[in-house]
Structure 1
Amino acid sequence: MATESFLREIGGKSVVEQIVDNVTNAIINGELKPGDKIPTENELCTSMGVGRNSVREAIKILEAYGVLTIKRAEGTFVKQGFDSKMLYPVLYGIILQKDSANQIIELRKVIDVGILQLAIDKLELESLHKAEQAMQKLEQKLAAPAVDINAIFEADTAFHMVLVAITQNALLEGICSYVDQITKKSRLKAIEKFINDKATERFLLMHRDMLRVVKEKDRAKINEVVEKHYQYWEQVTC
């Protein structure tokens, strides 16, 4: 295979970082497309004037990010389709920042506004039925004789993921799934606060409102509903 035009001279950043940047930029610019085989280690080494170890390290990083996939005896290829690992560097960056909890809530609010808008556009009878079932399961967990905060959290998460699934957008599903993982501790605290404040009906109303705006295609109320939905979560992260 001929060496691709995206290979550029190393300079500025570390050798490994530059190799990662070159491959990434080639994908962004369309010089490498999903499913394309990238140049061999030897071609990369020769064209960039770098060592084999640096090339291997860069490929390992891109594989870990879900950008490349290695097929033994065939070569290394650009991944086809979305991989949730692609989100890790961005989300780790958010987690490690000061005041990350508030930033994550802000991120989730913005995402939820988009989810509800898109869900309205793509809502089908079957997906509406699944959302209503998820709402019923959440109600059942809250009405159980023995309060199980973890079970309520799981039902809450399942409800939100059903709404995300309505959008038919794998990228959104990946982002929301990962945000759910990294915010479990604070969301459990929020659920506990709802229970201690005897505000479970309010908790359910917030979820019913989300489902209602989708079902009734009430776009004008989306921002208001999302803002109210996260009031308790904001209180426990302050």
Structure 2
Amino acid sequence: MAHETFLKEIGGKSVVEQIVDNITNAIINGELKPGDKIPTENELCASMGVGRNSVREAIKILGAYGVINIKRAEGTFVTQDYDSKMLFPVLYGIILQKDSANQIVELRKIIDVGILQLVIEKLDSESLYKVEQAMKDLETKITTFNVKAKDIFEADIAFHMVLVDITQNALLEGICFYVDQITRTSRMKAIEKFLTEDATEQFLLMHKEMLRVLKEKNKNEINKVVENHYQYWEKVNS
């Protein structure tokens, strides 16, 4: 392979960032494929005209994000399987955005619409039973005397993760896990709002509506159901 083909200068960025971008772009473009050995330090230094320290720093960053795998005595290889660490830079970018709270709500809506579409396509009797059990667990928690917001939150996450599991999509699973982590505080506030306003029945109804759409395999109602599902969360972020 002619490694020089993807090692191009990218203006306006540090040397380390250029190296990171060049290697990731090569993977995206298919010039480097999963399992491929990347150029050696000497090759990277020579082809880009950069120092060894910059190359080593870039390799550390790519390794930390799970993009490459360093094997002692063998070399450095493009990771062959999905690694949840690959989502870190994306999620950090979202968190650091101005007005990130509202953007995260919008992101989660889009994700949920896609999840429900996939679930409808893959739903069978066994997976439907799992969703119904998760719904029963959520209802049990909500109707418990003096229930805590934390308990409802955990049952809510469990319900949604059952849906994610049905999609059999590791990337979606990773994204949803980290979105749940970074939205914990605002979603807890939304659930506390339900409790304060004695509106837990409404909270439960929104989940039942989601289950109904799945059972009926009604893709036309997905957007409406998701919009209703996040109305309280939007209020606490406004």
Stretch moving more, 41-50 or 181-190: 41-50
Name structure 2 gaps, 5 residues minimum. none
How far apart, CA to CA, are the structure 1 residues paired with 2:77 and 2:231?
45
Aligned to 2:85: 85
Q: In structure 1, how many angstroms separate the alpha carbons of the residues matched to 2:236 and 2:152?
A: 17
1:111 aligned partner, one-letter code: I
Matched, 1:40 2:19: no
- Alpha-carbon distance in 2 for matches of 1:11, 1:199: 54
Deviation of 1:7 after TM superposition, in Å, equals: 4.4
Residues of 2 paired with 1:19 and 1:6: CA distance?
13
Secondary structure in structure 1 of the residue aligned to 2:73: coil
8 A contact 1:135–1:208 mirrored in 2: yes
| Counterpart-to-counterpart distance in 2, 1:7 and 1:218 | 46
List structure 1 segments (4+ residues) > 3 angstroms apart after TM superposition: none
Judge conservation of contact 2:4–2:47 (CA < 8 Å) in 1: no
Match of 1:98 in 2: 98
Question: Residue by residue, what CA displacement relative to the aligned partner does 1:207-235 show, whole Å, maximum 9, x if unpaired?
Answer: 11111211210111111100000011111
**Alignment partner, residue 3 of structure 2:** 4
The amino acid that maps onto 2:150 is N
The equivalent of 2:138 in structure 1 is: 138
Matches within 5 A, 1:104-123: 104-123=104-123
Root mean square deviation, CA, Å: 1.4
Match in the other structure for 2:29: 29
- Give 3-state SS (helix, strand or coil) of 1:50's partner: coil
Q: Matched residues in 2 for 1:9 and 1:90: separation?
A: 23
Contact 1:7-1:47 within 8 A present in 2 as well? no
By how many angstroms is 1:6 displaced? Answer: 3.4
Instruction: Identify which range, 188-197 or 138-147, moves more after superposition.
Output: 138-147
- Aligned ranges for residues 67-216 of structure 1 at < 5 Å? 67-216=67-216
User: Aligned letter for 1:197?
Assistant: E
Amino acid aligned to 1:108: R
SS of the residue corresponding to residue 202 of structure 1 reads helix
Please report how far the alpha carbon of residue 100 of structure 1 lies from its aligned counterpart in structure 2 after TM superposition: 0.8
TM-score when normalising by structure 1? 0.95
Deviation at 1:3, TM superposition (A): 5.2
Cα distance change, pair 167–11 in 1 and its aligned pair in 2 (3 A)? closer
CA shift in 2, pair 1:222/1:70, >3 Å: same
Q: Quote the Cα distance in structure 1 between the aligned partners of 2:77 and 2:7.
A: 19
Greater CA drift, 45-54 or 31-40: 45-54
Q: Deviations over 1:134-176 (max 9, x none)?
A: 1111111112223121111111011111111111111111111
Distance in 2, Cα, partners of 1:55 & 1:124:
50
Query: 176-185 or 124-133, which moves further after superposition?
Result: 124-133
State the aligned residue count. Answer: 237
Q: Is the 8 A contact 1:6 1:23 kept in 2?
A: no
Give TM-score, length-normalised by structure 2: 0.95
CA contact (8 A) 2:8 2:22 kept: no
**How many Å separate the matches in 2 of 1:101 and 1:10?**
35
State the one-letter code of the partner of 1:93. G
Distance 1:6 1:198 in 2: 63
Distance 2:5 2:160 in 1: 41
What is the aligned-residue identity percentage? Answer: 74
The change in CA–CA distance for 1:28 and 1:9 in structure 2 (over 3 A counts) is: closer
Are the counterparts in 1 of residues 189 and 236 from structure 2 also a CA contact under 8 Å? yes
1:4 counterpart letter in structure 2:
H
Note the residue ranges of structure 1 that are not aligned, 5 or more in a row.
Answer: none
User: Secondary structure of 1:69's match?
Assistant: strand
Secondary structure at 2:76 match in 1 = strand
Residue identity matched to 1:189? K
Secondary structure, aligned partner of 2:157: helix
